[in-house]
Structure 1
Amino acid sequence: MFSFRVIRTRCLHNLGSRFFHTTNYAGSSKVAVVLSGSGVYDGSEIHEASAILVNLSRGGADVSIYAPDVEQMHVIDHTKGEPMEQTRNVLVESARIARGKIAALSTLNSSNYDAVVFPGGFGAAKNLSSFAVDGVNCKVNGDVERVLKEFHQAKKPIGLCCISPVLAAKVIPGCEVTVGQDKEEGGKYPYSGTAGAIQEMGAKHINKTVAETHVDEANLIVTTPAFMCETRLHEIFDGVQKMINQVLAMTK
């Protein structure tokens, strides 16, 4: 059994090198992943983030993780789905998923990467943008907007899942994305109204099932519905896997 001192020493060692991913492959694709906190209701959807990281690892990518160094819009008690009287920092919370190896989004230089990927979760609509409150009139975090525009202008692929495609819809005019279906289908797609908001923002929504992706060839944007659909967990992973495989294929 590890003593507290050993655990503490290892944690401090890891934190000392937290800005560097532990695995580097010669000639591999370099991919930045942008998180928005930790937890579906106020941050990144953890299963989506994990599926993205697993499939990037399987694909041999060299991954670095970033998040904005800002306060969350609010904190949700995930046992009740209700706001709590406390504040949390998006970067600090995202570090839980990144196992400490994370940097502030303001330091992300698109010239160092071949692609960027955004998991979903309400953090994308609350912390990376104000979509959860302002809908089509939302504002996007300045560094998120900068990163998306830089990758787009450099013709480097962008992967987004769940609710995060609204970020691209807002800052890349005329792009094509999917968040699933534009009808609820008896509750299977409870957030289907997002499709209409995407259209209002000047982007084009493409209906897809949870296991499918949409590839906007003109803008090099790959999207998949993920938890915008009420379904079994492995189907979420299947769609994310397809998204990541397509993003990596575009970097070759």
Structure 2
Amino acid sequence: MVSTYPGARRTRSAARTAEEGIKDYIRTHRLRPGDLLPSESELCEAIECSRSSLREAVRTLSSLDVVEVRHGHGTFVSGLSLEPLLRGLLLRITLNPDRSLEHLRNVIDTREALDLHSAEEMSSHFAGRDMSEHWEIIERVRTIAAAGQTAVPEYVAFHQRLHAGLSNPLLQEMAGAFLRIHIDCLRLLELAPPRDFPDTIRAHTDLLRGLQAGDADAVRAAVRDHYIPLRQLPE
């Protein structure tokens, strides 16, 4: 049970104020990922908070990937990744078993929407380029499938190389995050990846051909074909 003792509420309020103070300090001083924050005493003075409130705020911001504590070196601005979003979504999906598959389908829909949205830019980016690495991955997937195994690392590598062609770094990160959520959900829910490899390989092959030809319509059609087997989840 969460304490409703007035002192506990004041402590939480002070820590929350310290959190906002640290974020404001990062903004106003234009700090970037990897930059060192002031010492504990200096930061307490700068944002006018107690050491205990500051330490609690730093713990919270560390869990949110806003700051990174390196013992013996100090507190740094973190990479500000989407890792907290990923962890939160995974918890949300797996917390309620009755709705886990529904939430997983939402993740798959989001992945498809991101890929469809990116089709135009990816087609322009890869048109006429050497995509031999992508073709090599497809061949490895084909070989692994012929042996009756799944090729999750190769699947991830393939999509990561495609996402690298996007100019929007947030879109790159979102696509990568939802890919990881999808893979981790299958593992946590103990669901086997789709084994309809011929269709999957065909869709990836069509996707690469569309990208090299700069044909966004062909890319979108291949994306839709790719997600059909991914939606084949148990009822």
Tell me if both proteins adopt one fold, taking TM over 0.5 as the criterion: no
Which of the two has greater strand per residue?
A: 1
Bucket of the pairwise TM-score, normalised by the shorter protein? under 0.3
Give me the TM-score of the superposition, normalised by structure 2. 0.24
Give me the TM-score of the superposition, normalised by structure 1. 0.23
Q: Which is higher, the Rg of structure 1 or of structure 2?
A: 2
Which of the two has greater helix per residue?
A: 2
